Structure 1
Amino acid sequence: MLYINGKWESSEDNLDVVSPTNGQLLGTVAKGGEQETKLAIDAAKKALPAWSKRTAKERYDYLNRVAEILRSRTDEIAEVITTEMGKPVKESKAEISLAIDYLEWFAEEGRRIYGETIPASSSSKRLSVIRQPIGVVGAITPWNFPIAMITRKIAPAMAAGCTVVLKPASSTPLTAVEVIKACHDAGVPEGVVNLLHGSASNITKALMDSPVVRKITFTGSTEVGKQLVRQSADTMKKLSLELGGHAPFIVFEDADLEQAAEDLIASKFRNAGQTCVCTNRVYVHESIVKPFSELFAEKIRKLVVGDGLESGVTIGPLIDSNAVDKVEDQVQDAREKGAEVLVGGKKIVEGEYAKGNFFEPTLLVNATHDMKISYEETFGPIAPIFSFTTEEEAIDRANNGEYGLASYIFTKDASRIVRVSEALEYGIVGINDPMPTVAQAPFGGVKESGIGREGGRQGIEDYLEYKYLSFQLDV
C-alpha cells in the first residue's frame, strides 16, 4: 500500500515481498513511481504550513501517541520484521524499542528548539535568531533496521515541523507500512507523512529533481550516497547521509579476554553481521592472539542458525542471494591468500536451509591486509582476526581505509583509552562497549561514512534553518 495525503492507495503494479528464510512469497505492496512521488510531494507541501505552525507541545503529543501505538503492537510488528528480513525475533523487539526511543527522544527535543538574542552594535537596533523547519523532507531508509531507521528520520523531521515523503527499502516494505499505520491511527494530519514503495531510482529522481523537497536524509551505501551528493547540486538540497562502515575492533593485551570475546559476538554477529556499525576487522595483540582466537571460536560454535521466529535462534539468514555470494567470495579470497577458516566458512544448504540465504558464522585467522575482507564492507557473519604488535600499529591499521563510522577498543588502561579513542578517525568509538548506539547520542561518521548526525540533540539540527532578524526601532 502507498500512503499519500492521509489515504491508503493501490496501484496497477505491485512489489513482491519474499522471505529470506525460505524464499516464500510473503505478500505484495502497491508500487509507486514518478507520478505517485509527485503527488506525495504535493501533499507534503500542502500540509507543511499548518504542521509547522503547530506548537512544539502538539507535535510532541502526536509523536508520543505513535510511540505508544508501536509499543502496544511490539509482538506483531516484531514478527513482521523477522519474517521479511530474517533477524531473530528477540533482535526485532530490541529494534522496536530503539525505534520508540527515537520517537520519544525527538518529541522532547522538538520542545527545545531555541533561538537567541544578539547584542546589537546600535542602541536603535535589536538582533535575534529564530529556528524554523527546513520544509519538505525526503527520507530513504535501508532494510537492515527497517523500523529504527524510519523513526530516526521521521521523528526529528516531524518534531522540527517538517513534513515527510518516505521511501523504505524494497526488501522490507511491510515494516514501513506498520509504522505509517501507527502514524495514521495516532491521528497525524493528512500529508505530514507519506509512504512510497517502488523503484529507488524512479522515486529518488523525483525527490531530487523537486525544488519543493529541501532536504534528503539517506541511509545506505557510500556509492549511492555519492550519487545523491551530485544530484543534490541542481536544487541545493541539504543532505544527511549515513553510509558504509568497516569497523575495527581492537583488543589490547590487558583486556578482559572473556568479556571482549563475548562483546565481539554481540558486535559482529548481531543481525547476521548486517549492520553498518558491526565489526569488520578484529585486531588482537600478538601476545594474546592465539588464546583469544580459541576463546572466540568456542563462542561462535554456540551460535544457533535458523528461522528467526524459532526459539533459541541467534543467527538468521542474509537478506538475499547476492549477500550470500559476497560473503562466499570474501571467504574464498581470504583462503587463497593464506587465511585459515577456524569456524564455519560456507553457505548452509541442507534440509530446511536449502531455500534460504543462510551462511555459517565464520572465523578467519591469519588475516592480512591484501584480502578483500580487510577493505570491502562485508555485511555478513564473517570475523577475520589480524594481529598487531604496538599501539601505534593498531591505530594506523584501523585508520587505513575510506570508512569512518564506528570503531571499538578493549583495554583497561585509562591513558590508552584517551590516546587511542582520540586518534581513531571514526565518528563513534565504543570503549569496552560493543553496542554504543542509543537515541540520546549522535550517530554518524567521518570520511566516506557520511555527512551529518542522527540521534542526540544534534539529530534535529539538519531539519532546521537559522533565520536572523534585525529590528530598527523608532527612536
Structure 2
Amino acid sequence: MSEQITTSPLLLAGRWTEGAGGATVDVENPADEGLAGRVAVATEADVESAVREATRAQRAWGATPAVERAAVLLRLAELIERDGERLARIVVSEVGKPIREARGEVGGAANFCRYFAGLATSQGGEIMPAARRDAEVLVRREPIGVVGAIIPWNFPLALTTRKLAPALAAGNAIVLKPAELTPLSALAIAELAIEAGVPEGILSVLPGPGSVIGAAIVRTPGVGLVTMTGSVRAGRSILHGAAERIIPASLELGGKAPFIVFADADLEQAVASAVATRMMNNGQACVCNERTYVEASIHGEFVERYTAALEALVVGDPSAEATEVGPKVSAPELANVERIVDAAVAAGAKLVTGGSRLTGAGYERGHWYAPTLLTEVAADSPVLREEVFGPVTPIVAFADEAEAVRMANDTEFGLSSYLYTNDYGRVMRMTAALESGEVFVNRGGPEEVVGFHAGWGESGLGGDDGTHGFELYSRRKTVYASWGGA
C-alpha cells in the first residue's frame, strides 16, 4: 500500500534547507507501517531564524496591495487543484485516509485559499463620526506581523491552508509547524505556495516535536499570534506561553459532539448521517459524532439500522476507490481506542458489533480497528467522557427533550452538536439550549468556510473561518484625524 518514498527538507523563510541540526524523521504509512517519507527536523535555532527573517519580510508583504496578495492565494488554489491527485495520495500515505475523503480534503484546501483571497479585498476598516468639527475617527485593520501556526495530523492539508490563507490575506508572515505524524502535506503545500508567488521570508514550514518546535514558536519574540488545532493538553501549554508574552492565541482543542435524534426525524437520513459523521476519517475529526442520543421510542430500530450500516462499511486499503474506512493513524492512537472500548465493556456496556482490532488478510500490518457499536453505556464511562477519536459509537436512549439537553451538555467540551428533528419549535429551543459553538440541524458536517468554527469550554478559544475567523489575523489601530483649527 505504501506510496513512493518522499524525502524533503524543511522550508525556512522561503528557502529549502536541511535545518540547523541535520536530523531527519521517518513518516510512517499507517496502513502497512511502511515508509511514507522522510523529512528534516527543525530546531529552536531554526524557529528563531524563521521568525527573525519573517519579521523583516513581513513589512513589504503587509504593504503589498490586498488585491496582489489575493492574486497569490488564487494562484495557490489553482495549483492545489492542478496537483490534486498527487496531494490526495500524500494524505492517504501519511494519514491512512480513504482516497475519496482525501480528494475532498484537497478541495477544502483550495476553497480556503479562494475564500480568504476574497476577504482580503473586501474587509476594510471603519470611519466613525468624531465629536469635533472637521475631524474623523478612523479604525484601521493592520497585520499582526508574524503568525505562529500549529497543525494537527488529522487534516494536514486542509488545516494548513485554513491557517496559511487568512494569515497571508491579512498581510502577515507565517511560521507553521505540521504534526510530527503528518508533515508531508504541509511541505507539499509550501512548495506550491512558493510557486504561487509567496515572497521569500514570508513562509516557513518547520517539522519537529511540539514540545520543541511548538514551544519555541510560542515563546520566540516577534510572533504576534499563535493559532493552533490540537489537544487540550497542548492547548493549555500554548495558552500559558502566550499569556507570558501577552499575545493572542486561537485554540481549537477537540470535541465530544452529541448526535441527537428525535422520533419525528427522517430515520433513514438520520442513520446515514450518524454513520457518516462518526466514521469520517475513521472517527478522527474533532467534529465527529462522538455520542449518539436517540429518543427511546425509536432506539431499538435505530440501533438495528445503524448496526447494519456499520457492518456494510468497506474497511481496508485507503488507496482503493471502494474503501470507506481506513486505519488509525498510529499504534498509540489505536491503543487508546482499544483502552476506551475495553473499559466500557468491562463496566457493563453491551458490545453490539466490532470491539476489537482487525486481523487476517489485508490487516497483517497497519493500525486497524473494527467499526464498533456500544449500547447500555454507563453515564460515567470513558466512551461518553473522553474524546475517542476512532470508529466507535455509543448509542444511548433518552426520554424527552429535557433529558436530551442534559445528556448532550454533560461534557467539558463544546465544539459541535447535531440535531435531527422536523419540529421547528424544538429546533429553536434545542439550538438555544445546546452548549456548543456550532449546531448542525438535519445535516452532517463538516463545517463550512463561511461560518465560524469555534468551541466553548475545553474545545478552545478564538476560532477559524468566516469573517470572524479572519478578524483574528489583524489588529486595530484608531486614528483621530483633524483638519480644522484648534
Q: With the length of structure 2 as denominator, give the TM-score of the two structures.
A: 0.96
Partner of 1:419: 429
1:204-283 correspondence to structure 2 within 5 Å? 204-283=214-293
Q: Quick one: distance in 1 between partners of 2:365 and 2:258?
A: 33
1:356 to 346, 363, 366: 366
Measured against aligned partners, the alpha-carbon deviations of 1:46-65 in whole angstroms (never above 9, x if no partner) come to 11100000011000000001
Q: How do 1:392-471 residues align onto structure 2 when only pairs under 5 Å count?
A: 392-471=402-481
Aligned to 1:93: 103
Equivalent position SS for 1:155: helix
Contact 1:430 1:436 in 2 (8 A): no
Q: How far apart in 2 are the matches of 1:232 and 1:453? A: 16
Which residue in the other structure is 2:6 paired with? none
Residue 284 of structure 1 aligns to a residue whose secondary structure is: strand
Q: Does 1:5 align with 2:34?
A: no
Matches within 5 A, 1:167-206: 167-206=177-216
Q: Quick one: which of 280, 285, 294 aligns to 1:284?
A: 294
User: 1:155 aligns to what?
Assistant: 165
Q: Decide which of 304, 314, 317 is 2:327's aligned counterpart.
A: 317
Which residue is equivalent to 1:102?
Answer: 112
Query: How many angstroms does 1:436 deviate by?
Result: 4.3
How far 1:25 moved relative to its partner?
Answer: 1.5
Q: Does residue 1:32 correspond to 2:42, yes or no?
A: yes
Question: Is 2:142 aligned against 1:132?
Answer: yes
Q: Aligned ranges for residues 331-370 of structure 1 at < 5 Å?
A: 331-370=341-380
SS of equivalent residue, structure 2 residue 447: coil
Q: Which moved more, 1:243-252 or 1:205-214?
A: 205-214
* Alignment-derived partner of residue 379 in structure 1: 389
- Counterpart CA distance in 1 for 2:468 and 2:424 is 28
* 1:105-142 deviation line (CA, Å, top 9, x unaligned): 00001112221112111215321111101110000000
Give, as a single letter, the amino acid of the residue that structure 2 aligns with 1:94. Answer: G
Instruction: Indicate conservation of the 8 Å contact 1:134/1:465, yes or no.
Output: yes
Distance 2:248 2:173 in 1: 15
Matching residue of 1:304: 314
Taking the aligned partners of 1:84 and 1:60, their CA distance within structure 2 comes to: 30
Q: Is the 8 A contact 2:30 2:366 kept in 1?
A: yes
How far did residue 208 of structure 1 move? 1.7
C-alpha deviation, 1:441, in angstroms: 1.3
Quote how far apart the aligned CAs of 1:242 are.
0.6
Residues 369-426 of structure 1, C-alpha deviations (whole Å, 9 max, x = no match) = 1211011000000000011001001001100110000000100101101100111000
Q: Indicate the residue corresponding to 2:87 in structure 1.
A: 77
The one-letter code matched in structure 1 to 2:452 is P
Tell which deviates more after alignment, 96-105 or 227-236.
Answer: 227-236
| 2:60 counterpart residue number | 50
- 1-side partners of 2:215 and 2:376: how far apart? 45
State the shift of 1:368 in Å.
2.1
CA distance in 1, matches of 2:208, 2:14: 19
SS of 2:226 mapped into structure 1: strand
Percent identity of equivalent pairs? 39
Whether the 8 Å CA contact 2:133–2:484 is kept in 1: the answer is no
* In 1, Cα distance between equivalents of 2:405 and 2:426: 11
In structure 2, what is the Cα distance between the partners aligned to 1:249 and 1:102? 27
Cα offset for 1:352? Answer: 2.8
User: Deviations for 1:218-271, whole angstroms, at most 9, x for unmatched residues?
Assistant: 000111111111111221111110111000000111111111000011100010
For 1:407 and 1:474, the matched residues in 2 are separated by 55
CA distance in 1, matches of 2:467, 2:130: 28
Taking the aligned partners of 1:329 and 1:339, their CA distance within structure 2 comes to 14
Check conservation: 2:287, 2:446, Cα contact below 8 A.
no
2:151 aligned with 1:141, yes or no? yes
373-382 or 361-370: bigger deviation: 361-370
Alpha-carbon contact 1:210-1:235 (below 8 Å) kept:
no
Query: In structure 1, how many angstroms separate the alpha carbons of the residues matched to 2:133 and 2:484?
Result: 11
List runs of 5+ in structure 1 lacking aligned partners: none
- Cα deviation for residue 298 of structure 1 reads 0.6
In the alignment, what sits opposite 1:472?
Answer: 482
Following the alignment from structure 1 to structure 2, what is the Cα–Cα distance between the partners of residues 72 and 460? 26
CA distance in 2, matches of 1:27, 1:288: 48
CA contact (8 A) 1:20 1:85 kept: yes
Query: How many Å separate the matches in 1 of 2:446 and 2:33?
Result: 33
Shift of 1:277: 0.4
Distance in 1 between residues matched to 2:37 and 2:163, nearest whole Å:
26
Separation of aligned partners in 1, 2:381 and 2:158: 33
3-state SS in 2 of match to 1:112 = coil
**Matches of 1:255 and 1:50 in 2, distance apart?**
55
Are residue 164 (structure 1) and residue 174 (structure 2) matched? yes
Partners in 2 of 1:247 and 1:454 — Cα distance? Answer: 18
Root mean square deviation, CA, Å: 1.0
**Is the CA contact 2:100–2:321 (under 8 Å) kept in the aligned structure 1?**
no
Q: What is the alpha-carbon distance in structure 1 between the residues aligned to residue 444 and residue 38 of structure 2?
A: 36
One-letter amino acid of the counterpart of residue 252, structure 1: F
Report if aligned partners of 1:252, 1:285 keep a CA contact under 8 Å in 2: yes
2: CA distance between counterparts of 1:221 and 1:242?
8
- Alignment coverage as a number of residue pairs: 475
Counterpart-to-counterpart distance in 2, 1:308 and 1:45: 41
**Partner-residue secondary structure (3-state), 2:121:** helix
Is 2:124 the counterpart of 1:114? yes
Structure 1: how far apart are the matches of 2:288 and 2:418? 10
Amino acid at match of 2:17: E
